[in-house]
Amino acid sequence: MALIEIKGLYKSFGKSEILNDINLDMEEGKVMALIGPTGSGKTTLLRHIDTLDQPTRGSIFFHGEDICRLSSKEKFLVRRRMAMVFQKPVMFNRSVYENVSYGLKVRSKENSRDDVLHTLDEVGLTGYESRSATTLSGGEMQRIALARAMVIKPEVLLLDEPTANLDQKSASAIDDLIERLAHGGTTVIIASHNMTECRRLANRFAILVNGKITRTGRPNDIQLDRGQYIGFLESIDPSDKT
Ligand SMILES: Nc1ncnc2c1ncn2[C@@H]1O[C@H](COP(=O)(O)OP(=O)(O)O)[C@@H](O)[C@H]1O
Ligand SMILES: [Mg+2]
């Protein structure tokens, strides 16, 4: 049994159908990439897995249990076992240390100084503990957002375009981190429209276009250079050339 099984998932906001019959299995300890142009529904799908959105119809099974049918209180407990990193990291106007330990606090876990310091070390920010988080660079903030997620040791890590707003160097440092996490056995679901990143990190990919999965496979099935990639995206959505 896959760790997460999505079956016949639909989501409409008003009259627009945003997710249309999504069926997808995600294996434990693997990295799944959701690839698709802007507006295809990647963030919405991640939010459903994180129980933040309720589908119009369909199910998401986590350890065999349909998490779309749970009470708010039960969903809250499921959410504690997952961590989502949003595209634009949100920093509190506090120290780096407090920004990372926040993840433990909201989950009422023991606020272990060792865990926080160890995680800061893992993301390469040792010595930053007392720095003000809001004064850091975009790449550093994204590393803190990742540290905040990692410190709780989630079963599932949901990453929403974690490198989209970063320069090449910071982006590749974040990818190194994700790669290490994946080797450590964390189940990772990454939304991205960076094909190189997906090929490097993912064991499986699913291509999402207008709320529908048009293709799934292994990264080697999408051996495209950048030019071909743009052509490929154009072939699925003429509006997206990023
Ligand atoms: N809360 C919402 N209400 C109405 N429309 C929404 C809402 N959230 C997302 N959408 C719409 O759903 C579509 C998919 O959005 P999103 O999941 O953010 O796509 P992606 O992350 O792939 O760019 C977009 O057209 C967006 O405007
Ligand atoms: Mg998005």
Q: What is the pLDDT of residues 59-118, one digit of tens each?
A: 999 999 999 999 999 999 999 999 999 988 889 999 999 999 987 876 666 668 889 999
What's the number of CA atoms in the CB half-sphere (13 Å) around residue 103?
28
Task: Output b/e per residue, 199-224; b: 16+ Cβ within 10 A.
Answer: bbbbebbbbbbbbebeeeeebeebee
Residues 140-149 have pLDDT tens digits of: 999 999 999 9
- Give the model confidence (pLDDT) of 188-198 as tens digits: 999 998 777 88
- The secondary structure of 104-131 as a DSSP string is HHHTT----HHHHHHHHHHTT-TT-TTS
Of all atoms in ligand 1, which is nearest to the CA of residue 13?
4
Q: What is the pTM assigned to this prediction?
A: 0.90
Residue 43 Cβ contacting ligand 1 at under 6 Å: yes
User: How far is ligand 2, taken at its centre, from the CA of residue 66, in Å?
Assistant: 24
Q: Is the CB of 242 under 6 A from ligand 1?
A: no
Task: Tell me what pLDDT residue 241 has.
Answer: 45
Above pLDDT 70, what percent of the chain?
A: 89
Hey, whose CA ends up nearest to atom 18 of ligand 1?
43
Is residue 168 scored above 90 in pLDDT?
no
Residue of 230 and 89 predicted with greater confidence: 89
42 Cβ inside 6 Å of ligand 1: yes
> CA 221, 88, 211 angle in degrees (round to 5)?
45
66: β partners: 61
Distance separating alpha carbons of residues 130 and 109, to the nearest angstrom:
21
Ligand 1 atom closest to 45 (CA): 17
How confident is the model at residue 60, as a pLDDT? 98
Q: Quickly state the pLDDT bin for 235 (edges 50, 70, 90).
A: low
Under the banding of pLDDT at 50, 70 and 90, the label for residue 184 is confident
Q: Is 44 in the pocket of ligand 1 (CB under 6 A)?
A: yes
Strand blocks (E) in the chain:
4-13, 16-26, 31-35, 57-62, 65-66, 82-85, 156-160, 187-192, 204-209, 212-217
User: Which pLDDT band, with edges at 50, 70 and 90, does 227 fall under?
Assistant: low
39 close to ligand 1 (CB < 6 Angstrom): yes
